Amino acid sequence: MENTKKKKTGDILDIERLIPRLISAWPLYIITVLIFMLIAFYFNTWKLDKIYSATTTFKINNSSSSNALANNSINFIWGGNTNKVDALSYTLSSRIHNEKVVKKSASYVFYYEQGKIKKSDIYKLDAPFIVEIDTTYNQIIKSEIQIEGIDQNSFAINVIVPEGKVYNYMKDSIIRNETIALPKTARYGQWIVGNNYKFRVNKNHLNYHTSKYSFSLVTIPEATRRVMQNFNVAQASKIASIISVTKNSKSLNESVDLLNNSIKVLIDTELAEKNISTVKTKNYLEKQIEKVRFKLDSATDNLQELQKQTGITNFDSKKSEILSKLVQLDSKKLEIEEQIEALTRLTPRSNSSVSNLIALNIAGLDVSYFMQNVSKIESLEDQKNELLKIYQKNTTEIREIDQKIAQARRDIDNIVNAHKSKLNTDLAQVQEKIDEVEFQVAKLPFQEIEFLEANRAFEMNNELYFNLITQLNATSLTLASNVSDITIIDPAKNQGQGSIGPDTKRNYLIALAAGLFLPFLYVVVKELLDFKVKVIKDITSRTHIPLIGTVGDLGDNSPLIVLNSPKSGLAESFRAIRSNLKFLYKTDPLHPNNKTILMTSFIGGEGKTFNSMNIATVLGSTDKKAVLIGMDLRKPKIFDDFKISNKLGVVNYITGNAELEEVIQKTVLPNLDIITAGPIPPNPSELILSKKMESFLSVLKDKYDFIIIDSPPIGLVADSYDLMKFADCTLYVSRYNYSEKNFINTISNKYDEGEVSNIGIILNGFKAGSGYGYGYGYGYGYGYGYFDEDQNFDDSLKGKLKRLFIRIKEQLF
């Protein structure tokens, strides 16, 4: 009858095996967590600098100027009120703006504090001194200079790093390498001047304490990069145009000072650009006033000279009316000519320039309408740039947008040309009226004409001068009354805010997680790569063959543990196996008065012979006769431990060179005999398969109650399978932490397929408390200290520490 069973396959990662191993690795967890916590403490306390944050908020108002020219100017520059918020936000983060901040705050001087453990970057407000340099002089950068206070008025200078580079702050250029040489001492506020340096050290309100302080100069770009680091601009409210600016740095004073200086620079820049058109208008008016003043002075001198020569000082009412009409017409003509000239000064390719803006205002054009068309052109130019990323220049899409841009420019040109045409028409009309009046004047006597022309020139220039002065005063008043559209709501302030970094709690949690995870990973990987038998489940999960017992680790004891230490735990485990043998015997015995037990394993070293000798001993310790046969003809062993001769044995008997009585050897136990393998034969397999072997075992079965056969490993040769037909049961030995888990597969497959039967497994060398469970119910060879003869178990503190060390070593290696 075919006896087949479903094959068992073990898990890749056995949770029941892994969990005890993870728990038993607690010393490793403690060590790694402690190490990582110390590392986190080092980083939190010394390695990582504390980070401080400061914030300022400001509001962007609608243009506060009552002057239309100033309003339009700032709208042209910043893109109108709608885009002004974005423009200012971008400006705050720009390199040019932050270069101005560096120069305003003198941030090109780096300060350092040398503590007991490390050197830290600090800000000038955190140092006991502030360095002031003359940027018009060449300076030596990159050299480090230490300042130590001597008294209230003087200090010592120590050059730590003399090598540096000569740098020109005005041109932002490095000239050459240089070594700095400074005096040993100096006084606070005293300029220290050399060939390539000029600076002074001003005393701050802080004390030197126990730390040492130093400074070094850096380039403008390097200082700018530091200022721009960790700088965040956000629009806090779109409705109210409120911007929030945050700066993170290693010093709270640095964050506060740089933020406030940044906003001051922004306000100054915005106000200067807001006033640019007003300033240019003022300059234009001043130049015009100079010209008109010269003409007015000349006209005044000419009029006075005529009055002396002619004696005429005044006109009658009719002539005065003619003079007044001429002056009005001349002023109107001059105004129109100025408007035409302003239109001529327009530059089509710079539609949004301030010069164009002034020209448009002089010409009397609608600036807002002009701005709409300019914005349209700029929008089309942006669209074209985007399309050029996709299309070639000569494609239909590019030609169409070029046509739109050309049309928008023509619209502007049409506006300007139409206005210029109207001005020319007005100028012609005014000139006609002037000609009519001059025709009337021509009828007057020569002296009166000469005097009238002199008065005409004087009155015209005088009125023009008065108008220009009035405009200049209005422009100056506008310039003085203009204020920035930026209003600071909440300036940055040092209120003793705590640091925002490093996040010590997070770092400690990371350290804890790493300290727990790495041992976990180590144990898991070690478990995945560990193919040795470590727990009973490594065997039971892979086979249907029953496990009939476990045998503890022999240690330094004698292999004949049952014989030499009959009251030990190991001896008791063999007695337990003896009791379990009755469940393995064949139901139909091969001999009515004999039980034959075959011992085997997969490879050598698993404890097959050790178990054979001790099982034979426990069976021979009763009133039953037992014989132990060394059937491992290739590598005989039994004789060494029993201290008997291997000269005659199974080989001699099978080959007919000895009688049975000659090969049977007695032991100290009266009921236990031994037959060794004898000399190693050249053909062991043929001897085992011979008829003489079958008769040999048949004779022994009649003579003994138990036969224990120590056979060869099944993983190396097939001799054991040939001997199984003579056995009532087979005991397969697997060794803890030596045998691989898949060794059992060979005999298990044969068992599942019904090729072999009546097999039991012994787990040999099992160690209790090794992190893999205990396997209760399979034997007793692991209850150290319980049995009288377990003398090697040390329950003292020294023994406990020794075992703890061994466990840590096992987990690591």
pLDDT, tens only, 409-420 = 787 777 778 778
CA 619 to chain centre: 70
Contact, 732 vs 763, CB < 8 A?
Answer: no
pLDDT, tens only, 31-58 = 999 999 999 999 988 888 889 999 999 9
User: What global pTM score does this model have?
Assistant: 0.61
pLDDT value at position 528? 86
Q: How far is it, in rounded angstroms, from Cα 711 to Cα 608?
A: 8
pLDDT value at position 38? 95
Beta bridge partners of 194: 197
Contact, 206 vs 253, CB < 8 A?
Answer: no
Q: How far is it, in rounded angstroms, from Cα 356 to Cα 412?
A: 12
pLDDT value at position 789? 47
Identity of the amino acid at 436: E
Question: What is the number of residues in the chain?
Answer: 813
Q: How far is it, in rounded angstroms, from Cα 764 to Cα 606?
A: 7
pLDDT value at position 211? 82
Identity of the amino acid at 251: S
Which CATH number among 3.30.360.10, 3.40.50.300, 3.20.20.60, 3.40.50.2000 corresponds to the domain 537-812? 3.40.50.300
Q: What is the dihedral of CA 217, 219, 223, 228, to 10 degrees?
A: -170
Q: Which residues of 39-75 are buried (b: 16+ CB within 10 A; e: fewer)?
A: ebeebbeeeebebbbbbbbbebeebebebebbbbbbb
pLDDT value at position 372? 67
Q: How far is it, in rounded angstroms, from Cα 59 to Cα 237?
A: 9
- Whether a cis peptide bond, with omega within 30° of 0, leads into 592 is no
Identity of the amino acid at 543: T
Positions of the chain with pLDDT lower than 50, given as ranges: 1-2, 64-82, 349-352, 773-791, 793
The DSSP secondary-structure symbol of 152 reads: S
Q: How far is it, in rounded angstroms, from Cα 442 to Cα 406?
A: 52
Per-domain residue ranges of the chain: 15-48+502-529, 55-105+231-275+483-500, 109-218, 277-481, 537-812
Q: How far is it, in rounded angstroms, from Cα 490 to Cα 260?
A: 10
